[in-house]
Structure 1
Amino acid sequence: MGRVVLVTGVSRDLGRRFARYAAADPGIDRVVGVDLVPPRGDIGEVSFVRADIRNPVIGKILGKEDVDTVVHMSVIATPGYAGGRGSMKELNVIGTMQLLAACQQAPGVRNLVVKSSSVVYGATNRDPAMFTEDMHPKQLPRSGFAKDVYEVEGYVRSFARRRPDVRVTMLRGANVIGRHVESPITSYFRLPVIPHVLGYDPRLQFLHRDDLFGVLRHAVLHDVPGTFNVAGDGVLLLSQAIRRLGRPWVPMPAVGVGLLGSALRKARVTDFSPEQLGYLTYGRGLDTTRMRAELGFEPAYTTAEAFDEFAGLLEPRDGHSPDVKAGSAS
């Protein structure tokens, strides 16, 4: 018997595409997709159930569908998608609490996979070169998506203590990038002129969309509990990434980038949050040793390869073709 998997957040593109990807796997019997609104694209063999994970009715769905594995992909980074910061926090935090409460009461649930984010580590000038999973942020997040993720992870750890019979796998992914990916970082790189903080050239890591799907599938099918950093090999400097895009960029003082980011956020051009500003100032490095040694997963794309594919999808804005050679130092 294969697994019966419930995937949250399937009205968004990543959730929908992962649900289809999982449904095609021979090791998975059925996939049930859950969200507030129906997905706009084709979901293939996925069974869609319209439900709000903030509502206790999610518990009835777990029992009715005989779900044994839950993949939680409803922790979102973009307030505009949720209808504002208040709704985003409610969906992220309250939704997770209700989902975990339902899982706790569902004896059939044996596996929980949570798509978390490396944003939980923060980004400051006191950070280590590489964060391991046992490290904590130098400064606790006070607002925004980072605070949501920090709280969500706390609730997941509490759930794991209450249900030690459930295998819990938490994946702290680097910024996901690729075709159809809409996020604060991809919106930033799509700007016609890219601002950056004067005097800083942060190290960036990326996770290809297909590798996100791959590691989620791997976590569903392999009984490896724990928390794992997930990212493609290597790093790119922000200056290297922008040059590969073939777009003009302008250095600005941090306060100027912050003010510009606020204006872009209000205009709904991109969600340029304070946490994004920190990341684009100081960067972040993830140690992925545990991903390989314990989880047993190897990404197909390096950080540079993932970014190069993304860059190749965009139109250059400076009259030159982007440099998309994976080994380029530009």
Structure 2
Amino acid sequence: MAGSTVLVTGVARHLGSRVARALVRAPGVRRVIGVDVEPPPDGLGDAEFVRADLRRPGIAATVAAAGADTVVHLNVNATPLGSAGPRVRSAVKEANVIGTMQLLAACTRTPSVQRLVVKSTTSVYGSAARDPALYSEDMPARVLPSGGYARDAVEVEEYVRGFARRRPDVSVCVLRLANVLGPAADSPLARYFALPVLPTVLGFDPRLQFVHEDDAVDVLRAVALRPRRGVPATSADGTFNIAGDGVLLLSQAARRLGRPMLPLPLPAVTASGQAARTVGATDFSPEQIRLLTHGRVVDTTRMREVLGFAPQYTTAETLADYSAARGRGLLGRSWGIGWSDVRGWIRG
């Protein structure tokens, strides 16, 4: 990929700006262009910044002028830039879905584009009571997400598959990231774990998986630099689950964070979540409540055997690094109380 030109969307956010800076330092990359509606607060290093709104048809001119052969689409997110809340949900959906449609249309009309990398999420599998123990990439959701970020991601992936049919000459890779955590992660789950007390659903202790923000940057960088179609190595084409090894129960995560849990009936958790979203404390969306009820675990065999990527951090190590950066909660690790402890006492 000598002399490669890479266009990265969503660089106003921490993950996007980190990916752009990582790519600009990569051997064989001649130029990196970061695109977003706002400049990144952390800067882009030697990468260029272009202010552009993916929702507007003008993005086609931006892509064409860049002459990019690789496009890394990171502008699919659960919350808008700045504050979150139900009043801005329509703006988030427009940025995710309409923005992706406009970008794909631009890539379709730009002959120089030879590789497309899209950040998606394991939320596309939903969270339901009868979910399988492990979701592989070819398994459909038992209960299709009905709204929110998860539904946006489902629609985005549908449009990406349509693009792949229209441009079979372009290598396309979709990375379904598990919940991203780390010292600077700003995901809905990171905001939830930062609460002084964690509301949980009474009677449920879901299994959770995390991916460290460093590993998210590394896999996006690695896939963007893989050879394109027409050359022997094409293992980066397709859809891949990305997550650290291992699983944690929510109660285990709470104890390791030193956060007390407050088990509540599901209607009370829903009401408290709506209140938290109203004041902007966290994006306690219905899909997140379902995750904190039923959990979600994905199979990462293809990530290792086909993509050839092995995360540096396990799920437990990811949570530990997040905790070290954010600080301990109200309870010490040696005497933190979780729902599994309460169940043990009740059973005697």
Q: TM-score normalised to the size of structure 1?
A: 0.95
Q: How much does 1:318 deviate?
A: 2.3
AA at the equivalent of 2:50 = V
Q: Give the counterpart letter for 1:168 in structure 2.
A: V
Q: Write the mapping of 1:131-210 to structure 2, written as runs, cut at 5 A.
A: 131-210=135-214
The alignment status of 1:270 with 2:271, answered yes or no, reads: no
More displaced, 209-218 or 83-92? 83-92
Aligned equivalent of 2:88, options 84, 97, 108 = 84
Q: Judge conservation of contact 1:80–1:268 (CA < 8 Å) in 2.
A: no
Do residues 309 (structure 1) and 321 (structure 2) align? Answer: yes
Say whether the 8 Å CA contact 2:255–2:333 is kept in structure 1. Answer: no
Matched with 2:105 is: 101
- Name the SS of the counterpart of 1:48 in structure 2: strand
One-letter identity of the residue aligned with 1:265: R
1:287 maps to 2:292: no
Secondary structure (helix, strand or coil) at the match of 1:135 reads coil
Q: Residue deviations 1:21-47, cap 9 Å, x none?
A: 111111322110000111122210010
- Check whether the contact 1:122–1:138 (CA below 8 A) recurs between aligned residues: yes
User: Partner amino acid for 2:237?
Assistant: P
In 1, the alpha carbon distance for the partners of 2:306 and 2:317 equals 24
2:61 matched to 1:60?
Answer: yes
Structure 1, unaligned runs of 5 or more: 324-330
Q: 1:109 aligns to what SS in structure 2?
A: coil
CA contact (8 A) 1:235 1:304 kept: yes
Matched residue SS, 2:262: strand
The residue identity in structure 2 corresponding to 1:236 is L
Distance 1:319 1:153 in 2: 41
Question: Is the Cα–Cα contact under 8 Å of residues 183 and 326 in structure 2 kept in the other structure?
Answer: no
Distance in 2 between residues matched to 1:315 and 1:89, nearest whole Å: 33
- With over 3 angstroms needed to count, the CA separation of the structure-2 counterparts of 1:77 and 1:322, relative to structure 1, is farther
- Structure 2: gaps of 5 or more residues: 228-235, 336-348
In 2, Cα distance between equivalents of 1:162 and 1:274: 35
Cα distance in 2 between the residues matched to 1:282 and 1:4: 42
Task: Work out which of the residue numbers 264, 267, 270 in structure 2 matches 1:255.
Answer: 267
- In 2, Cα distance between equivalents of 1:148 and 1:58: 20
Report sequence identity in percent: 54
Matched-pair contact (CA < 8 Å) for 1:208–1:306: yes
Deviating above 6 A after TM superposition, structure 1's stretches of 4 or more consecutive aligned residues are none
Aligned to 2:339: none
- Structure 1 counterpart of 2:69, one-letter code: D
Report how far residue 84 of structure 1 moved. Answer: 0.4
Match of 1:9 in 2: 10
Letter of the 1:43 counterpart: L
- Aligned counterpart in structure 1 of residue 224 of structure 2, from 200, 220, 225: 220
Distance 1:217 1:225 in 2: 14
RMSD over equivalenced CA pairs, Å: 1.4
Q: For 1:111 and 1:182, locate their aligned partners in 2 and report how far apart those are by CA, in whole Å.
A: 28
Query: Residue 247 of structure 1 aligns to a residue in which SS?
Result: coil
Secondary structure at the aligned position of 1:295 is classed as coil
Is 1:245–1:322's contact at 8 Å kept on the other side of the alignment?
Answer: no
**1:267-315 alpha-carbon deviations (Å, 9 max, x no partner):** 1100000000000111001100011111111111111111111011223
* CA contact 2:97–2:152 (8 Å) conserved in 1: yes
Question: Separation in 2 of the partners of 1:257 and 1:169?
Answer: 37
For 1:36, the equivalent position in structure 2 comes to 37
What letter matches 1:93 in structure 2? Answer: V
Would the alpha carbon gap of residues 166 and 80 (structure 1) be closer, same or farther in structure 2, given more than 3 Å must change?
Answer: closer
The separation in 2 between residues aligned to 1:118 and 1:178, in whole angstroms, is 18
Distance 1:19 1:305 in 2: 25
Length, aligned pairs only:
323
Please tell me whether the aligned partners of residues 260 and 331 of structure 2 are also in contact (alpha carbons under 8 angstroms). Answer: no
